[in-house]
Structure 1
Amino acid sequence: MVKFWVGVVSENHVKRGVKGGFCQVCHGKGGPLKRMKKGDYLLYYSPKVALDSDQKLQAFTAVGKMKDDRVYQFEMAPDFIPFRRDVEYYQPVRSCPIEVARQHPDWKTYASQLRYGHFEVSRDFFKSIFTYMKID
């Protein structure tokens, strides 16, 4: 059964993942990635433009589908070897502001989960955000 997920990641890190065809969540932890399966979908929510920035964004910034079930480590620096998954990203998309998400009846449930960095959402919520993001 296909599941739908949200990953909370700064926009500049999302862009790096989209360009490279991979995802990372929760500062490179493997556990959240292992919960997702081939064919599952991921919406990225970016609270900020950059991790070390005070510049807020508060928008959904990318959407993709897990290519396979492989979770692997990738050395980004000698002291940082995060876990990744390969993702097929839907492109092009436009960002979906948090104001749009707040209109969905499930938003109150999900808003409290943003601090966890990775969580499952309903198909209906996913479709609502994805429909807004698609550029035809």
Structure 2
Amino acid sequence: MSTRYWLAVVSRDHVRRGVELGFAQANHGKRAAVERMSAGDGLVYYSPRTGMREGEPIKSFTALGTIAEGPAWQVEEQGGCFRPWRRAVDYDRDARQVPIDDLRTELDLTSVPNWGIVLRRGLVELTAHDFELISRAMVGQ
């Protein structure tokens, strides 16, 4: 099986929590999103804003990692009905936030008209080219 590369669209506040705790969650915690990912796949987060429906617009790549071994799991209910599905991720702690505008002219993702509409899916498969370009920009390699 070959490596795949994913871009998840999540607010920066939520991304930071996932990085801190070592997990990925996408599409409002839906199982199908994390079940598409496999161990060894690359993951990059794009954050339109600092907060989920509010906060400062940042339009940046905010985290970078690799899906770890192990299956997806569902979080136990914690005083509410929200029980998201997650995957373990090995995050690159040296990755820095990079505005999408810094790479927009070079990305396959942004080469089509109305590319922003694609991001509304919440989880998008990236080309190897795009993942490598974003990775280099975020970690300087």
Query: What TM-score range do you get, normalising by the shorter chain?
Result: over 0.9
The offset of 1:101, in angstroms, is 2.7
What TM-score, normalized by structure 1, do the two folds share? 0.93
User: Would you say the 8 A contact 1:92–1:135 is kept in 2?
Assistant: no
Aligned-partner Cα distance in 2 for 1:105–1:83: 29
- Whole-Å separation in 1 of the counterparts to 2:11 and 2:40: 24
- Matched with 1:4 is 5
After TM superposition, the structure 1 stretch with the greater mean CA deviation from structure 2, 126-135 or 13-22, is 126-135
CA distance 1:11–1:77, change in 2 (3 Å) = farther
Residue in structure 2 matched with residue 133 of structure 1 by the alignment:
138
| 1:1-136 aligned within 5 A | 1-75=2-76, 76-106=78-108, 107-109=110-112, 110-135=115-140
Query: CA separation of 1:64/1:105 partners in 2, compared to 1, >3 Å: closer, same or farther?
Result: closer
Distance 1:97 1:40 in 2: 23
Shift of 1:69: 4.2
Of the structure 1 ranges 106-115 and 36-45, higher mean CA displacement relative to structure 2 is found in 106-115
Q: Percent identity?
A: 35
Shift of 1:135: 4.9
Asked if structure 1 preserves the Cα contact closer than 8 Å seen for 2:105 and 2:111, the reply is: no
Q: CA deviation at 1:54?
A: 4.2
Give the Cα–Cα distance (whole angstroms) in 2 for the partners of residues 14 and 93 of structure 1: 13
Shift of 1:77: 4.1
Query: Where does structure 1 differ by over 6 angstroms across 4 or more consecutive aligned residues?
Result: none
Question: Where in structure 2 are there 5+ consecutive unaligned residues?
Answer: none
- Of the structure 1 ranges 91-100 and 105-114, higher mean CA displacement relative to structure 2 is found in 105-114
